Amino acid sequence: MTPTSPGFASAFSPPLTPPLLPGLLRALEEKGYTTPTPIQSAAIPAILQGRDVLGSAQTGSGKTAAFALPMLQSLADAPLTKTRTVRGLVLAPTRELAAQVGASLLALGKYMPQLPKVTVVFGGVSINPQMMGLRSGADIVVATPGRLIDLIEHKAVKLGEVEMLVLDEADRLLDLGFGEELARILALLPARRQTLFFSATFPPAIEALASSMLRDPLRVEITSEPEGEPDITQRAIAVDAPRRTQLLRHLIQTEKWSRVLVFVATKHAAEIVADKLRKADIHAEPFHGELSQGKRTQVLMDFKAKAVQVVVATDVAARGIDIKELPVVVNYDLPRSATDYTHRIGRTGRAGESGIAISFVSAATRAHFKLIEKRHAIKMVMEQVAGFEPVEVAPVNAADPLGTGGVKGKRPSKKDKLRAATSM
């Protein structure tokens, strides 16, 4: 059965060469996709023609389909066998993103003449079922780097025949310390392959990695989503650090926020803030990398269903949160970088909805907030909330509130972060 209208395919100019398979078009029509997004319009033709691509696109811009459709189409070039060899590999920074990519591949490939075997693997759960699932091979593997290394060491998966490699949210893969794992994985891949980078930003580390891995890539930078710039009201509120939780509770209650995503720096802070909100009869849940996968999945389901009002999350875990109608994001702790600020506030104001992004700024973090403003070429009025006026003064080293020295390569080590977390 073919689609009733060419729809998605006919929106490309010039027409796609080679054209998308009827089964892929049927799946697109079933999902209601009739017009490609800007990232899809630019990337899909090049990928189908075998080019490497370096694409900049925010979450929610349609980048998953931009690489999933060509990857699925490439599987049709050779007959699938009972014992599958991994021909497509997608690396993602978080469990939730890996699961989302896997689900998209399965949904888009459901009407292909031969159903592709897509296997999603990530840490935080038992490795044994994943090893069993790979026993008969897989056509596409979607993985977090650490778990993929584990499976390679257990000889459960081989990468010698990978034809297409995708680094999804490549900037976060490096930010989260996956550089060593990436190097080990890349060493096991064939030299002749197609490589696709998708990243919300292009920091120097990504530029360097891309230049070493990609061959004459098409560079695609999408500065806005199809609906235009997100309608996000950005606010900054001055508050003493010890009173942030009280202020958060006050705002939730007085401004009647239905759902709030709160960003904190550590898992310890996520647990503490969520617990204090619960004691104030606000249904809140922590969300961080050390929760079990089952718990994380349940929190996301409850948040989407509005059974949970507040999720208190770390940056690492929150990259898997994709909710179309999320009205408010709060930076309880300021992000380490201007890039992370972009990722955080981008969780609201999606799908044509308006959103609010609020940052709590203490005397100690005022200089760091000014740096974020400078990097984004914005200037916010520093608000004060009655009853929560700050009295603290900036410490002597306020220009370096996070202890990084402002110098690349001087970031806190894992041990430093652990000490900071346990001292809260």
Please report the pLDDT score of residue 396 as a whole number. Answer: 58
CA distance 418 to 413: 9
pLDDT of 228 over the 60 cut? no
Average pLDDT over the chain, rounded to an integer = 84
Residue 319 vs residue 404, higher pLDDT: 319
User: Boundaries of CATH 3.40.50.300 in the chain?
Assistant: 9-221, 231-422
Give the model's confidence band at 81: pLDDT under 50 very low, under 70 low, under 90 confident, else very high: low
pLDDT at 385 over 90: yes
What is the structure's pLDDT at 5? 42
**Which of the two residues, 79 and 269, has the higher pLDDT score?**
269
Superfamily for 231-422?
A: P-loop containing nucleotide triphosphate hydrolases (3.40.50.300)
- From residue 151, how far is each of 31, 128, 155, 204 by CA, in Å? 33, 10, 6, 30
Output the six-digit token pair for 13: 């100019």
**8 A C-beta contact, residue 325 and residue 302:** no
User: Is it the case that residue 368 has pLDDT exceeding 90?
Assistant: yes
Is 262 a residue whose pLDDT tops 60? yes
Residue-wise pLDDT tens digits, 106-135: 999 999 988 889 999 998 789 999 999 998
Q: What is the mean pLDDT of residues 250-271?
A: 94
pLDDT tens-place string over residues 130-142: 999 998 889 999 9
What pLDDT, on the 0 to 100 scale, is given for residue 66?
A: 92
- Considering the entire predicted model, what is its pTM? 0.66
Q: Tell me the pLDDT band of 403, cut-offs 50, 70 and 90.
A: very low
pLDDT at 348: 82
Element spanning 194, H or E: strand 194-199
Average pLDDT value for residue range 51-58: 85
If pLDDT is split at 50, 70 and 90, which confidence band does 60 have?
A: low
- Contact between 288 and 316 under an 8 Å Cβ cutoff? The reply is yes
Tens of pLDDT, residues 4-46? 445 687 778 777 878 888 999 999 988 888 888 888 988 999 9
pLDDT digit string, tens, across residues 320-357: 677 777 899 999 999 988 778 887 888 887 666 788 99
> 209-227 pLDDT, tens per residue?
888 888 889 998 876 544 4
Judged against a pLDDT cut of 90, whether residue 284 lies above it is answered with yes
Q: Which two tokens stand for residue 18?
A: 């080679």
Pick 36 or 246 by higher pLDDT.
246
Q: What is the model's pLDDT at position 118?
A: 95
When comparing pLDDT for 156 and 113, which is higher?
Answer: 156
How does pLDDT run across 167-205, given as a tens digit for each residue?
998 887 877 678 888 889 999 999 999 999 988 777 788
Q: Check residue 404 and give its pLDDT.
A: 45
CATH fold group of domain 9-221: Rossmann fold (3.40.50)
Element (H, E) at 354: strand 354-361
pLDDT at site 260 = 95
Query: What share of the chain has pLDDT > 90, as a percent?
Result: 48
- Stated as kind and residue range, the H or E segment containing 274 is helix 267-279
Torsions phi, psi of 203, nearest 5? -65, 165
What pLDDT does 111 receive?
92
pLDDT for 89 beyond 60: yes
The encoded tokens of residue 126 equal 């038992």
pLDDT tops 60 at residue 314? yes
Instruction: Name which of 109, 110, 92 is nearest 101 in CA terms.
Output: 92
